[in-house]
Structure 1
């Protein structure tokens, strides 16, 4: 722990579980160390923020929420424009909210474009908290340029970049949109280094991998205990996270995969978009929930069928749980490939995720001693990355 004097730290994020959850324990730790933390967040997450001891600073966002994932559209530009449009209208809200109470330090999720703008305006350091992979040396040439070439040639894409550059220029940050988006001044990476592509080419003078920042979640999420019927059985957890969960046919396949395996018990999380009645008859060795205390279950589980989101992927790694990765969107496909390459998972495309395939994948992973050994090796390496306390130490170092 550093000896930083108590300070006013401002955190900025969006109303999405995948962007709030990874750093929530860091916020709790900063408050415990005596810092006053103001957390800019839409009202839907105010209670979650307040539980850490931070003070929610409520702003109105125009971004689609976890309740309506289809509102993000289907094209690349559909995923980009909302963040810029939201940033433009949020910036004056946040500037007014902090007027006369400017912080000593800004920390922010990678999606919060107003945060580094405000840090520049206030003349204080900004630290990015990345819940997923970061750019490596050569990233622009190998990934970004091919991915965005068509967009930058389109009329709609050109309008987007022109608007973004004008907004940055107006706020004194130049006009380099790509650099602003992918090259922060300072970054803490809240995933284990094992999940980072080309980790050996990441500039660690900018990015520090602190790994999973986990804590005791029992007070807010509860705990899980094996039901009497599951004692002595192997446990598999099935979860597709919080957004892309309207998948009754997939959940049926997961139940069918283990229905005739009496030595297995299935914990099935279906989220808010699937009606349990649509699943049909529930086998005796399956329990169904809308939400579960995922990390607590993984500490007891033998296997994890996951969408391979950043949070679930690292929780699987942190608990040395073999995974079957069935990605649904965005970075999950890359995460699934990384997990498979690490030797602790199988990547099963959604179109191939029938009962037979899922069962074979789980049973093969659990029976393979090499998978168990590799999973334990990664778990130990993650534990050494420091997690919550290391992240808080590095944030306090910026106060110097």
Structure 2
């Protein structure tokens, strides 16, 4: 009878229901460090996974526990030895080995903490930030798949020869560099991992890239069987607060150097000089927690000085973004089609600044060259250039097709089913 399901149909239906029930109760574990640029990009993905019925735990230092808990994930706190976002950037050192030694030492002391936190509560799948080395070790130990959530650019075919090897040539030739590699290699071997440190850090088995493809250098040479660009996963950000554009403002400029490398009072004063007496302009100046507003002295009425701002809410109404070109800020500028002046401060920000300039949506000005005159000239040129506006709209449209939060969650669920 046509109205009666066959045994095959019934069997298939039961299998689909069973699969769905299994996926709804999956335990997914996310691991990250206490840094805004590494935690923030993952939050909307976590929120979406929780909304889909998964049990999600998130291992993160206590400083970010409240922010993570707002997604609905269960926080697994652990103690980190890395400098925090409010610490002086000098705590990270000034050389490549300074940075990587800190990450390795933190990973080695964190692994026992995290293993104990998950004892008897092992997940079905591990998600991890690119700096969360213990996560990949634990996934190997538990025999579960691991997916990297990359908040910035990823390696392309030829990356090692073009970038990594020249960058590491001098450090690897030193006794200190060789000791670092030996220590890292020994730690991996102790945990049953046969990869060398470079491959362990830079070549994940699977990665979701949480930046737009437009920000990825040599995107045509990225292995798409490993890396999938899902683009910005921003969400509504309502919890961060609102901001209202002043009625009298004809143009609004936002200045932010992110959360870490913000100890730049001289730069902020140049920004005040650049925009403070521009007719019709309103300046929102985020200075971070390392600078006292009193250091800037009296500022004009059209200058709003804050330690922290709801950045995305402002960008949705702004005409210009003066940014350090971190991955998060860069993609927020692109997603809101806001012209940018990129003033990079550290690590990947220099490359991002060049990418933004190459896209035709920004001007790069290095910190030492960021005078009031240079900032003002670049600002006026950018906001009045129809070609800049056209390119921003093009990139914005491309980003909208990349999948975002839902696309990332779909791919994670696909890995669970596999």
Normalised by the length of structure 2, the TM-score is 0.93
Of 267, 292, 303, 2:309 maps to 292
Q: How does 1:43-82 map to 2 (within 5 A)?
A: 43-68=62-87, 69-82=89-102
Which of residues 367, 388, 404 is equivalent to 1:371? 388
Q: Are 1:109 and 2:126 an aligned pair?
A: no
Task: Give the equivalent residue in structure 2 for 1:392.
Answer: 409
Residues 89-126 of structure 1, C-alpha deviations (whole Å, 9 max, x = no match): 11111111111110000000000000011001101000
CA RMSD, 1 decimal: 1.0
* 3-state SS in 1 of match to 2:24: coil
How far apart, CA to CA, are the structure 1 residues paired with 2:398 and 2:272? 34
Q: Give the alignment partner of residue 211 of structure 1, picking from 216, 223, 231.
A: 231
Deviations, residues 212-233 of structure 1 (Å, cap 9, x unaligned): 1011111x21010023443xx1
- Verify: 1:261 aligned to 2:278, yes or no: yes
Whether contact under 8 Å (1:116, 1:126) holds in the other structure is yes
In the other structure, the counterpart of 2:10 is none
Contact in 2 for aligned 1:39/1:54 (Cα 8 Å): yes
List aligned pairs for 1:79-228, cutoff 5 A: 79-218=99-238, 220-228=239-247
Cα distance, 1:175 vs structure 2: 4.3
* Distance across 2 between alignment mates of 1:252 and 1:160: 41
Q: Offset of 1:246 from its aligned partner?
A: 1.3
Q: How does 1:301-316 map to 2 (within 5 A)?
A: 301-316=318-333
Q: Structure 1: 5+ residue runs without aligned partners? A: none
Structure 2, unaligned stretches of length 5 or more? 1-18
Residue of structure 1 equivalent to 2:44? 25
2:361·2:392 contact (CA, 8 Å) conserved in 1? yes
User: Contact (CA 8 Å) 2:24, 2:52: kept in 1 or not?
Assistant: no
Name which of 354, 371, 374 aligns with 2:371: 354
Partners of 2:397 and 2:107 lie apart in 1 by: 39
Distance, in Å, in 2 between the alignment partners of 1:123 and 1:260 is: 61
SS at match of 1:399: helix
**What is residue 323 of structure 1 aligned with on the other side?**
340
Greater Rg, structure 1 or structure 2? 2
Shift of 1:260: 2.2
Q: What per-residue deviation string (whole Å, max 9, x for no partner) do you get for residues 287-324 of structure 1?
A: 11111110011011111000001100000000110000
TM-score, normalised relative to structure 1: 0.97
CA distances 1:157-180 after superposition (whole Å, capped 9, x unpaired): 100100111111111111411111
Distance in 2 of aligned mates of 1:280 and 1:361: 25
Aligned to 2:9: none
Asked if 2 retains the 8 angstrom alpha-carbon contact of 1:258 and 1:266, the reply is: yes
Question: CA separation in 1, counterparts of 2:294 and 2:240?
Answer: 25
Shift of 1:261: 1.5
Match of 1:142, SS state, is helix
- Note the alpha carbon deviations across 1:28-85, whole angstroms, 9 max, x for none: 1111110111100111110011010001101111111112221100111001001111
* Structure 2 match to 1:270: 287
Are the counterparts in 2 of residues 262 and 285 from structure 1 also a CA contact under 8 Å? no
Counting matched residue pairs gives: 396
- Return the alpha-carbon distance in structure 1 between the equivalents of residues 81 and 303 of structure 2: 39
The alignment status of 1:11 with 2:30, answered yes or no, reads yes
The question of whether the paired residues in 2 share the 8 Å contact of 1:236 and 1:302 is answered with yes
For 1:319 and 1:109, the matched residues in 2 are separated by 25
1:134-184 deviation digits (Å, cap 9, x = unpaired): 000000000000000111111011001001111111111114111111110
